[in-house]
Amino acid sequence: MHDDRQLIEERLQRALRERIRPAIYGAAVPLDVQVWHAPGEPVPPAEALAATYEPAAIGLPWGPAWGTAWFKFSGQVPSEWAGSEIEAVVDLGFSGGPGFSAEGLIHTTSGVPLKGLHPRQTYAPLSILGPDGTAASPGDRIEFYVEAAANPEVLGSNAFAPTDIGSKPEPGGTPIYRLARADLAVFNAEVWDLILDLEALDGLQQQLSPQEPRRREILRALSRALDALDYENVAGTAADARAQLTDVLSRPAHASAHQLSAVGHAHIDSAWLWPLRETRRKVARTVSNVATLAQEYPELVFAFSQAQQHAWVKENYPEVWERLKKAVADGTIVPVGGMWVESDTNLPGSEALARQFVHGKKFFLDEYGIDTQEVWLPDSFGYTAALPQLVKLSGSKWFLTQKISWNKENRFPHHTFWWEGLDGTRVFTHFPPIDTYNSDLSGRELAHAQRNFAENGAATRSLVPFGYGDGGGGPTREFVATARRVANLESSPRVTIESPTEFFAAAEEEYRDHAPVWSGELYLEIHRATYTSQAKTKQGNRRSEHLLREAELWSAAAVVAGKLDAYPYEDLDRIWKAVLLNQFHDILPGSSISWVHREAEATYAKLAAELEAIIAKAQQALAGEGSAQIVFNAAPHSRNGIAGLGAGVATGEGQAVTVQDGVLDNGRIRVTIDERGLITSLYDVEAGREVIAPGAVGNLLQLHVDTPNHWDAWDVDSFYKNNVRDVTEVDSVDFSTAEGVATVVVKRSFNRSSVTQTLRLRPGTKRVDIETTIDWHEAEKFLKAAYPVDVHADRSASETQFGHIFRPTHQNTSWDAAKFEIAAHRWVHVGEPGYGVAVVNDSTYGHDINRTAREDGGTTTTIRTSLIRAPRFPDPQTDQGVHTVNHALVVGAGIPEAVEEGYRINLPERVVTGSDGVEPLVAIDNGNVIVEALKLADDQSGDVVVRLYESSGGRSRATLTPSFGVASVAEVDLLERHLADRELTDGGVSFELRPFQILTLRLKRS
């Protein structure tokens, strides 16, 4: 037989494009159109419906970028269409993909939302266009409204080009869309079905080898179907064409076919190329779509993560909320994830990541009575090794991600596996081999999932999330109908629409005893610049986390002491949720438009003011009246004579600091600063060794050209290191002493920017404090500060949530080399047996740590902290302006000292005028056991909740001794639910922790 494969395939594509798809709709009549252009931000439906509308027509320009227009559509349904399927078809002038351009939400005449509109979903069935969303009939007059959002295409055809359309707009502006269609039309269901038949078979045959009989049989059937189709009467002959496909569509899948669990999905980014306010509307559109679609396709299951998005529906769309609750009760919409948002996991602090689970799971429990079991993070930019333990302590047991498929250097070796965290906890994990969380169930994607599945031969099933996402929309009727066609189709995987819980239960039952283990973080080999981009967003997050710690600690102490009437439960709950929202994986990482980050910065400033007021109120209540200077220490370690978590009068520590000829000396360390303001020597007097590597200088600012190939705000590519400039020029270097502190102020100017650094050496310390103020006006540059130390370290330790993780300083393997930029929280540490150095910070996350061999045989290990970047997309003004960050170089430090100094720099002492000291609510007799949170119980019982963790990476025994009367103690999970009773002995609770174990204790006050 002659090979006519290409001939048939090209014939099919042209027929679909020019003949068949245009025949989906037959007879049509235009709708009457009126419009009201909202003058600014979106308004409630009641206000929009009461506005004065103007006559409009097809072709009407509408919507300046980020603007809103309300359209009123009306018309008479022709009586002669009785017996036909009838739909309203509205094209707002869509361009781009769903969720990334204009969108609409259909409302009834009373303002009830019905269904969303986007470029791939332009219809509304007559069954919802009657009064109050009821069915209309031929002969009826219909009327409905569409709230149209003029969301611009930020990621347009010229991807990553700088654009200002991500900024919050001024009033007015030029319309960017034109109304393209508004009709009532007859829907030719047989034509629509034919299209899906053809697409399913064509997609399948293209994945088969040319020699396979199945491919040739499908091609012959496709050819016969086109022969049977009359192009002048497509609607009338579509059934004849479909009949030619019945045989090839009805053949069952092979017995060994892979099993795909298909889950409807939208993955709505809580903010990204649109502001938070627009996400509220995206969620309403998507939920409305799903609820309406389920009426026609009852088998639909839609996974809906992010409790925050559920809460937005409840707060802003009462009618949609009722539909959502019913869909959840019916099993159509399935809450998943158990987190407040799909957060970043590299950057949130320990307690913040725990609270993602607390607030997410509590919402689903309170509103739906559902205790979610799967943690759903398909798109976050890497996954901390702390997650498995937090998943388990939240009461969940499964984890799903997709983003690891984006790795640039190394292919992740598993798709279903046990993920082991830094404490040894394991969680059953799935990484869908379809390599997308927005599948269209095409033949190409289904075949890829089956071929790509790493566990083939040992396991048989994987999960596929399908539907339009990122910008929302979710599954369409085409997707669900396609799922029906490929449910049991020869040469294709079997596809079953079912819930994530059903998938995980079956996958674990089949494979749990044989699944491989991956230990440690799931490092993403892309998007490494998200540890640094948008410095003020990151600084606001870090500051908020520590202010919340203080607010909870001192408020709890004041209530327990009887000096404060009420604990600020509601305020703290609201503030926590605002902080957690901004930890979404496109906000905290710095990868959203300008509007999002300017709003986040304003939010952080407002929250800081509120938290400072809560802290001040509690501390003043504790300190009482008087004139003494009471120092409050919120850190878990004592300092200046003040116990950790307590307050009192400080005592001085250490001998006086001297400054002479550029040398700062406090008796423990001696620091030499040269005329360039650089550290040429850092001598540890106690250890008798030089810390700065021979021939090197410390606190060296280094400026790199930073032009990644893609994803400007997200990525830093390894070639950035090829172009570096040492910033050594200096405007001035000034030495001084005041109040026993030696200070060096160094001012530099370079390019269009300037830096002022203040180095301080304090009495009794083994650290150099470095405050850096940057007036930044660069583009596509990356600024780092380097600390080359004379330490032979083959690995570095970086603080992560509830512990630390080790990473190699060498590049032995491609896996090692890929980690050329790493994330750390408050500290990084390098060491050799008997000696180490730490760099601590108050608001930065990105680092790179490498070692080089010297000619003298020694090893230089260089710690570099990432200070600031200047990407141009999606925010061309990223980080322009003034920033102040604090670091400290801590010498002679082990891990315990790194931990302590990390808390110190983030929790500075507070001084309150009063008379009374504060005994810590709890005392721990082991410095390796850290109190991460101390608060009153969420149920407002008055119980005290203490969250602890083992920080050294070893086993630790400790006793917790409360300073207040305790009736009983229980071990609880993150949601403060009872796990086990704990025994009180001599007024204390003794326990043993494994490395990095988290323990939450609930103390019932007597």
Catalytic (active-site) positions: 379
Q: How far is CA 643 from the centre of its chain?
A: 36
Residue positions counted in the chain: 1006
Q: How far is CA 926 from the centre of its chain?
A: 35
Q: Give CA–CA dist 838/843, Å, rounded.
A: 16
Which pair of tokens denotes residue 472? 């929302």
Burial zone of 877 (CB within 10 Å; 0-12 exposed, 13-18 middle, 19+ buried):
middle
Q: Give CA–CA dist 205/216, Å, rounded.
A: 8
The amino acid sitting at 636 is P
Angle at 449 between CA 446 and CA 453, to 5 degrees: 155
DSSP class of residue 486 equals: T
Residues 303 and 265: beta-carbon distance below 8 Å: yes
The amino acid sitting at 312 is W
Closest CA to 164 of 535, 590, 594, 537: 594
DSSP class of residue 311 equals: H
Q: Give CA–CA dist 837/834, Å, rounded.
A: 11
Q: How far is CA 282 from the centre of its chain?
A: 17
Angle at 865 between CA 732 and CA 995, to 5 degrees: 140
Alpha-carbon separation of residue 71 from 66, 101, 129, 140, 987 (angstroms): 16, 17, 15, 20, 70
Residues 372 and 388: beta-carbon distance below 8 Å: no
Which pair of tokens denotes residue 1000? 């939450």
DSSP class of residue 655 equals: P
Query: Quick count: other Cβ atoms within 10 Å of Cβ 211?
Result: 7
Residues 482 and 441: beta-carbon distance below 8 Å: yes
350-368 vs 535-560: helix axis angle to the nearest 10? 70
Which pair of tokens denotes residue 386? 């702390």
Alpha-carbon separation of residue 144 from 33, 105, 183, 335, 469 (angstroms): 10, 10, 12, 31, 26
Residues 227 and 12: beta-carbon distance below 8 Å: no
3-state helix, strand, coil in the chain (%, to 5): 30, 30, 40
Which pair of tokens denotes residue 901? 């100094």
Q: Give CA–CA dist 304/335, Å, rounded.
A: 5
Handedness of CA 318, 324, 325, 327 (dihedral sign): positive
Query: Quick count: other Cβ atoms within 10 Å of Cβ 663?
Result: 15
Which pair of tokens denotes residue 186? 């007859």
Reduce the secondary structure of 100-145 to three states and give it as a string: CCCEEEEECCCCCEEEEEECCECEEEHHHCCHHHCCCCCCCEEEEE
Reduce the secondary structure of 914-946 to three states and give it as a string: ECCCECCCEEECCCCEEEEEEEECCCCCCCEEE
Q: Give CA–CA dist 870/705, Å, rounded.
A: 10
Which pair of tokens denotes residue 713? 């705000």
Q: How far is CA 563 from the centre of its chain?
A: 39
DSSP class of residue 206 equals: T
Region for residue 374 given its phi and psi (left: phi exceeds 0; alpha: psi -120 to 50; beta: otherwise): beta
Closest CA to 266 of 247, 286, 239, 289: 286
